[in-house]
Amino acid sequence: MLATLDRRVLLRAVLVFVIAAVGVTAVLTMGGAAEAASTDPSAAATTTAATTGGTNIIAQNFLNGIVFGLLLALASVGLSLIYGTTGLSNFAHGEMVTFGAMLTYFLATQQPVSLPLIPVEFTIGLPFIPAALIAVAIASGLGWVQDKVLWSQLRKRRVGMVQQMIVSIGLSLALVNLIQWWMGGRPVRLIQAVDPRHQYGPIQIGNQTLISVGIAVAALVGVAFFLQRTRLGRATRAVSDNPALASASGIKVDSIIRIVWIMAAGLAALGGILLALYQQGMSFDDGTQLLMMMFAAVTLGGLGHPYGALVGSLVIGVVAEMSTVWLPPDLKFATALGILILVLLVRPQGILGKAERVG
Amino acid sequence: MDILTNVLTTAIAPSTAAFALAAIGLNFHFGLTGLLNMGQAGFMLLGMYGFAISLSNGLPIWLALIIGLAAAAVFALLLGWPTLKLRGDYLAIVTIAAAEMVRFLGRSQSLKDLTGASSGIRGIDYKEPFETLSPFPDSIVTIGPISMHGSRSSSWWLTTVTWGLVILFSLIYWRLSKSPWGRVLKGVREDEDAVRSLGKNVYSYKMQALVIGGVIGAFGGIMWALGNSVQPDSMGRPTTFWLWTLLLLGGAATVFGPMLGSVLFWSALTLVKGVAGAVIPDTVLSPTELEPFSLVLVGVTLMLLVIFRPQGVLGNKKELAFNG
């Protein structure tokens, strides 16, 4: 039970991911070749557009997909850990993502800001990095508060899982509107400066994005290290496997769950800040939109499986970005959600999930 | 006084009735069968697209109605197929994802000719066939404190038809929930395995409930569209969450729950907005902040309801064991 992650599972996951990526790329390249072969002038136009300025559109979209997938993974790892340890599908997780970005803006902006119901405007204007760090810290604290005030009480009252899920929906509705009330309906930009893109072979990427990816990878490796190597992490995986047994062997299930909440909220806030940088803005309901992607990722990877969230996020990110090569960009998310439904048809336990009866 | 008139108008408005209708559909899903459909707004949206697109292409109104309802039925079959064999929360995730997909497709520029993209379909393109059926005068009619148009848009005509449908479907719900078929569904809600061990095909029963509830939801969507216009963004996730709130408020698994819930929900919302707008000074709560403020209250109400009174106003706590 406490054994390290099964190597076969990991191999299988990598294999599935590589095959999926290769498959998607192959289909797209062949589609592109077929289009080029046809005499349709619009198709010819697309192919020329695909290679302008030495940038290969397929490689570029693949890279964008990986970047988006990594940032999505930051947000969805927490969702998956919460599901694993408590069984709750937390619909209010998207708001934690928005909250991270909004709080950073609130702390860092030079514009006057205010709080709901308090008719005083003021400016805090911290430099960006301390503001982001404080925002992540406050968000983690909020995760602790949320669990202390709400979820642990519900667990104590033995409120059913379905009811808890509906409670989280109510919380999501309340929070998203609270954020709109607080920050208004327009998207906010965390950093005003435009991030210039540099050309590396067939792809372009900005420095800011590179740093974001670095932070995301470091955070994800940190989570993996925590889960694999530390006592607390091992206890977390034990609770995730079987709470009753974990409790019987002397693990304090409730404090483990609280740590998971703190981590989940902090990671979501960090993901939100990085996403706001990557997309150059965040509006009050972006996190709620993203929740769909997170659920798709977590379900795809295997509900409750911490590494499943990573694999699922990368697949969703790549699929969403690659689809824009041949589908209109406003159908990006619809495609990703379509993939989710298809996967549930074939493999309902997700890519990494154990083959078990789930109904 | 103005506030009270507003509240009264909202209470009987056709959109309130349309929400009651969609909530009756949700009651078939959740109240009767225990299915977690988090995408009822998607069913409504599909219904109104089917109806409005058919009408604006010159089909007769009865055919347009059938197309709208059939679209929802097919959608239900598609969603139920992969998920009804799985645990309840899979259905929740897939229905919410699918409803969002419908909305994304609807507002996509690539389908602009059909759906009008994010600006939707204008009322004049499809309302006329319904409005010409109206026996009411073609002018403003005032009854008591309420004035509405006789037959255009949110009219007395639409009010009569929509509330008539609400009563009709409540009757159908009442009959069906008392029938042997309804008892099997309640059995599925309470303990699926027990029903399976009696030799019933649980999958098929769940599918039937999903289709029926979805079709009623589409009906609600069509009636809503007749009072407003077809707008993909007005049928997003919040709409589904409102439906859940008002269903749980009135009482799930009851005949009058959806009706009462819808009236209470929308009247309370109008009342809160009216009172807050009148009492709280603009510097503390500006008019643009009223909407999010009242929705925060809706969210908190939903949480409190589920925690402290899951059976709602009318429900029976024993009946609603929330077996997910």
Q: State how far residue B182 is from chain A, nearest Cα, in angstroms.
A: 22
Whether residues B241 and A296 touch (CB distance < 8 A) is answered with: no
What kind and span of H or E run contains B161?
A: helix B156-178
CATH of the domain at A156: 1.10.3470
Residue with tokens 């809503």: B224
**pLDDT greater than 90 at residue A2:** no
**Tell me, what's the pLDDT at A24?**
54
How many angstroms separate the CA of residue A141 from the nearest CA in chain B?
21
Q: If you count residue pairs, one on A and one on B, with CB atoms under 8 Å apart, how many are there?
A: 147
Mutate to test the interface with B, among A299, A335, A341 (most CBs of B within 10 A): A341
pLDDT the model gives residue A15: 63
How many angstroms away from the CA of B159 is the closest CA of chain A? 29
- Residue length, chain B? 324
pLDDT band at A357 (very low <50, low <70, confident <90, very high): low
Nearest to B104 among A154, A288, A334 (CB): A334
B34 has pLDDT over 70: yes
Helix (H, G, I), strand (E, B) or coil at A157: coil
- The answer to whether position A2 is within a domain reads no
pLDDT tens column, A240-290? 888 889 989 989 999 999 999 999 999 999 999 999 988 888 888 888 888
Please tell me the total number of residues recorded for chain A in this structure.
Answer: 359
Residue B213 has pLDDT above 90, yes or no: yes
HSE on the CB side for B165, CA within 13 Å? 27
Contact A171 B303 (CB under 8 A): yes
Question: Looking at residue A9, what is its pLDDT?
Answer: 55
Please check whether residue A50 lies inside any domain of the structure.
no
* CA quadruple B299, B300, B306, B312: dihedral sign: negative
Domain count, chain A: 1
Both structure tokens of B157: 């005509």
Angle separating helix axes B61-83 and B88-107, nearest 10 degrees = 140
A202 interfaces chain B, CB cutoff of 8 Å: no
Are B238 and A173 within 8 A, CB to CB?
A: yes
Q: So what's the pLDDT on residue B75?
A: 92
Contact check, Cβ <8 Å, A328/B283: no
Q: Is A210 exposed, middle or buried (0-12, 13-18, 19+ CB in 10 A)?
A: middle
- Burial class of residue B320, CB neighbours in 10 A (0-12, 13-18, 19+): buried
**Interatomic CA distance for residues A210 and A69, integer angstroms:** 14
Model pLDDT, residue B130: 83
Residue A346 pLDDT: 75
Lowest mean pLDDT among A147-151, B23-27, B81-85: B81-85
For residue A328, give the nearest of B90, B109, B245 by CB distance. Answer: B109
Closest CA to A292 of A94, A18, A38: A94
* Cα distances (Å, whole numbers) of residue B168 to B32, B51, B65, B191: 18, 20, 17, 30
pLDDT by residue (tens digit) across B183-207?
999 888 888 888 889 988 889 999 9
In the predicted structure, residue A147 carries a pLDDT above the cut 90: yes
Question: In angstroms, rounded to a whole number, what is the distance separating the alpha carbons of residues A143 and A202?
Answer: 42
pTM (2 d.p.)? 0.83
Alpha helices in chain A (DSSP H): 7-37, 41-50, 57-86, 93-108, 128-146, 152-156, 161-183, 207-229, 231-241, 243-248, 253-278, 286-301, 306-323, 332-346
Residue A309 lies in a domain: yes
Averaged pLDDT of chain A: 81
Residue range A92-106, pLDDT digits in tens: 999 999 999 999 999
Mean pLDDT of B60-74: 92
Residue range A167-223, pLDDT digits in tens:
998 999 899 999 988 888 788 888 777 777 888 877 888 888 888 899 999 999 999
Nearest to A166 by CA among B189, B245, B86, B19: B245
Place of tokens 């007395």: B156
Alpha-carbon distance values, A272 to A269, A282, A337 (Å): 5, 8, 20
Dihedral over alpha carbons B28, B207, B86, A291 (to 10 degrees): -60
Confidence (pLDDT) at B249: 86
Does residue A1 fall inside a structural domain? no
Contact B26, B278 (CB under 8 A): no
Q: What are phi and psi of B239, to 5 degrees?
A: -60, -45
**Tokens 């027990």 map to which residue?**
B194
> Regarding predicted confidence, which is higher, A25 or B217?
B217
**Structure confidence at residue B320 (pLDDT):** 63
Largest CA distance in chain B: 65
Q: Say whether pLDDT at A151 is over 60.
A: yes
On whether the CB atoms of residues B301 and B249 are closer than 8 A, the answer is yes
User: Is pLDDT of B47 > 70?
Assistant: yes
A11-20, A115-124, B88-97, range with the lowest pLDDT: A11-20
Checking if the pLDDT of B96 tops 70, the result is yes
Choice between A29 and B104, residue whose per-residue pLDDT is larger: B104
Q: Where does the pLDDT of residue A226 fall: very low under 50, low under 70, confident under 90, or very high at 90 and above?
A: very high
> Is residue A209 assigned to a domain?
no
Alpha carbon distances (Å) from B277 to B234, B271, B289: 23, 10, 10
- Are A235 and A245 in contact, with CB atoms under 8 Å apart? no
Query: Do the Cβ atoms of A165 and B241 come within 8 Å?
Result: no
pLDDT band at A356 (very low <50, low <70, confident <90, very high): low
What φ, ψ does residue A199 adopt, rounded to 5°? -95, 125
- For every residue of A38-63, DSSP letters joined together read S--HHHHHHHHHHTGGG--HHHHHHH
Element housing B296 (H / E) = helix B287-308
Query: Chain B: residue nearest A173 by CA?
Result: B299
Q: What is the pLDDT of residues A311-326, one digit of tens each?
A: 899 988 988 888 888 8
Over the stretch B217-244, which tens digit does the pLDDT of each residue have?
999 999 999 888 888 888 888 889 889 8
Predicted confidence (pLDDT) at residue B64 exceeds the cutoff of 70: yes
H-run or E-run covering B180: helix B180-190
Task: Give the best residue of A83, A93, A154, A166 to mutate against chain B (max B CB count within 10 A).
Answer: A166
Q: In degrees, to the nearest 5, what angle opens at C-alpha A206 toward C-alphas A204 and A209?
A: 115
- Alpha carbons A8 and B298: distance in angstroms, whole number: 48
Evaluate whether residue A206 is within a structural domain: no
**% of chain B exceeding 70 in pLDDT:** 98
| Secondary structure class of A115 (helix, strand, coil) | strand
Q: Which of A173, A178, A333 to mutate to test the interface with B (most CBs of B within 10 A)?
A: A173
pLDDT digits (tens, 9 = 90+) for A32-60: 444 444 434 443 344 444 445 567 888 88
- Which domain, by its residues, includes A84? 7-36+57-112+123-191+215-346
Confidence grade of residue B41 (pLDDT, cut at 50, 70, 90):
very high
Average pLDDT over residues B265-281: 85
Q: Is residue A41 part of a domain?
A: no
Q: Is the pLDDT of residue B78 over 80?
A: yes
Tell me the chain A residues in contact with residue B82 when contact means C-beta distances shorter than 8 Å. Answer: 341, 344-345, 348
Q: Chain A, 265-304: which have a CB under 8 Å from a chain B CB? A: 288, 292, 295-296, 299
pLDDT digits (tens, 9 = 90+) for A70-90: 999 999 999 999 988 888 889
Q: What is the pLDDT of residue A36?
A: 40
Whether residue A235 lies inside any domain: the answer is yes
Chain B residues whose CB is inside 8 A of the A180 CB are 292
Model confidence at A31, pLDDT cuts 50, 70, 90, reads very low
Rounded Cα distance, B253 and B34, in Å:
9
Q: What is the mean pLDDT of chain B?
A: 86
B222 to A213, A236, B131, B216, B273: CA distances (angstroms)? 46, 49, 14, 10, 27
How far are the Cα atoms of A179, B231, B293 from residue A288, in angstroms, in the given order?
A: 11, 20, 18
**pLDDT category of residue A11 using cuts at 50, 70 and 90:** low
Closest Cα partner for B202 from B84, B74, B89?
A: B84
B309: number of Cβ within 10 Å: 14
DSSP state, A188? B
B144: left (phi over 0), alpha (psi -120 to 50) or beta: left
Any B CB within 8 A of A152 CB: no
